Chain A
Amino acid sequence: MIGKLILTDLMKIRRKGIWFLAVLGPFGVVALQMVNYGLRKDWFIQQDTYSWFYYIRNVNAFTPFALVLGIVILTSFMASIENETNSWKQIIALPVSKWSVYLSKYTTLTILLVFATCLLTLFSVCFGIFLGLEGEVLFLDLIKYSFYTFLASMPILGLQLWISIISQNQGIPITFGVIGVILTYMAYFLPDWMIWKWPSLENQWDEPLINACFGLAVGLAIYVFGMLDFIRRDVK
């Protein structure tokens, strides 16, 4: 049943430019490095930082920002597809359980975000090779930085999805989301416990894995909370 729901959710996002956004995001992040390395290549060489190690960290400086912005836009899009003509009443009157409807939305978003994360890794590798950086390609590092960031932003995904789905007016989740994007941008100044800091993979122990693990655990907890609330609510 959940499989069929995901198929219909994928069908509903056709012609909405959502897949385009999922490509544009990672491309944008790498494009920023094109500008960065285009302008400052000599400086990097001079500083002895023209290597994969520093390149990956440079890319990752913008990933959290792009990812959180992407989450805000995609979740709101996803909810507005159903809110537009209030098709929630049509879906919930189908022989499906309410939790599976919610899970399907969540899974569809995860598919889109994982797709974008894979593209980010791919684009980074391609541009890195094009630059002819020093040393071996640090594949593990690359994958780590892309996917850890994704895992670390799962709490934000859960929160935005829940707010978007329960809000009749999409202004609310967008406003909330934009504040989140700004917080993500200022991650350096935030305390470790704030979920908007997590995608930056920064913490006082300097161990990105902590952010990824907490992101996954807290993300799933927020997802379950949102789903239970969705089940409890009357459909208008």
Chain B
Amino acid sequence: MEYIVETNKLTKRFGKEYAVEALDLKIPKGEIYGFLGPNGAGKTTTIRMLLGLMRPTLGSIQIFGKDLTRERIDILKKVGSLVENPSYYPHLTAYENLEALRKIYGVPKKRIDEVLKIVRLSDVRNKKVKGFSLGMKQRLGIAASLLNNPELLILDEPTNGLDPSGIIEIRNLIKRLATEEGMTILISSHLLSEIDQIANHVGIISKGKMIFQDSIEVMRRQSQNKILLKVNDCKMAWNFLISNGIEADFSLESISLLDRKDENVAMVVRLLVENGFSIYRVEEEKRTLEDTFLQMTTEERAI
């Protein structure tokens, strides 16, 4: 797989605290990568390092296959970003704010009108940003990140401060950018529900460490409802099922079956009973993606 962003043991320490620790981030080309983690997990710090705003304590970053420290300027020409709260000049108009950035990118002036239209700010292009609502400022920030037609778009909590219809709009925009323009997009959030609907890849970070990184299907599979069996000797029963070619997991004094079909459950129960195991309980465990996310991040916290 071709990776647009690849970090190696990326680490950032503030004083004695590790904000990011040995992170191996891998963002495949053309994907929407959801970067998830609770508050203070290290998402923004990671993003700052990806943009060259902060120097890693350890580790390296490759973007477009180039080393960030050596070819920072070349890389940033093709990267658009919005980090934390949007930055703007309140005394300038929306148009002037974008013009200040456009001059440096050297893209044609009509690109400003294009991006203003994309985020639906064309009507207020000549109004001072001072008077904008939070959501409008956020849109302006997104417009700014699109100015240079980036190949990699990095958005840190982009739906912050947007109303529900604004959130849906931005979500659709992000999907469209990925499918129509082929952009690779990194989008961070502390809400799974935000990422769930658009991302096809997820990385979950907690306390600075990556605790899960794969496609969202893999995460979904882990979150499927399962049948739990409690038996007198779980370990032995599990070994027995496995040797009979039945897919089962062994965890915490119970056996879980991924195949929830009635016939399958019936067959497993029969097999166990016929072979002398005592079945105490057969229950269905209902888990959502959210539960998996919560479990992952709290397990880490408990350690």
A→B interface (CB under 8 Å):
1, 4-5, 7-8, 11-12, 14-16, 81, 84-90, 92-97, 234-235
Contacts and interface: CB of A to CB of B under 8 A. Distances in A.
A86 B79 CA distance: 19
Contact of A95 (B53, B77, B85, B86): B77
A89 B83 contact: yes
A7 B103 contact: yes
Given A92-B52, A95-B76, A86 B87 contact: yes
A235 B87 contact: no
Contacts of B99: 11
A92 B86 CA distance: 14
Interface in B80-134: 81, 83-92, 96, 99-101, 103-106
B144 interface: yes
B154 to A, nearest CB: 9
Contacts of B143: none
Given A12-B100, A84-B89, A235-B48, 11 more contacts: A8-B101, A81-B89, A85-B88, A86-B87, A87-B89, A92-B51, A94-B76, A95-B76, A97-B73, A234-B53, A235-B54
Nearest to B96: A11
A87 B85 CA distance: 10
Sorted nearest first, the 7 A-B pairs with minimum C-beta distance are A87-B87, A235-B53, A90-B87, A95-B76, A234-B54, A95-B77, A93-B51
B74 interface: yes
Contacts of B55: 234
B104 A4 contact: yes
A95 B103 CA distance: 11
A43 B90 CA distance: 52
Contacts of B79: 93
B139 to A, nearest CB: 15
Contacts of B101: 8, 90, 94
A94 B104 contact: yes
Contacts, number: 79
B103 A85 contact: no
14 contacts: A15-B92, A84-B90, A85-B85, A85-B87, A85-B89, A87-B89, A89-B84, A93-B76, A93-B79, A95-B77, A96-B104, A234-B53, A234-B55, A235-B53
A85 to B, nearest CB: 5
A97 B73 CA distance: 7
Contact of A93 (B53, B85, B90, B96): B53
B104 A5 contact: yes
B103 A89 contact: no
A89 B73 contact: no
Interface residues of B, number: 31
A1 B88 CA distance: 21
A1 B77 CA distance: 13
If over half of B's interface residues share one DSSP class (helix, strand or loop), that class is named, otherwise mixed; here it is loop
A235 B81 CA distance: 15
Interface of B: 48, 51-55, 73-74, 76-77, 79, 81, 83-92, 96, 99-101, 103-106, 144
A87 B101 CA distance: 11
Contacts of A85: 85-90
A157 to B, nearest CB: 23
A180 B264 CA distance: 84
Nearest to B82: A90
Contacts of B86: 85
A2 to B, nearest CB: 11
Nearest to B14: A234
A213 to B, nearest CB: 36
Contact of A11 (B53, B54, B100, B105): B100
B26 to A, nearest CB: 21
B91 A15 contact: yes
Contacts of A234: 48, 53-55
Contacts of B104: 1, 4-5, 8, 94-96
A89 B53 contact: yes
Contacts of A5: 104
Contacts of B48: 89, 234-235
Contacts of A92: 51-53
A4 B54 CA distance: 24
Nearest to A97: B73
B171 to A, nearest CB: 23
B121 to A, nearest CB: 17
A90 B102 CA distance: 12
A85 B130 CA distance: 11
Contacts of B96: 11, 14
A84 to B, nearest CB: 7
A80 to B, nearest CB: 11
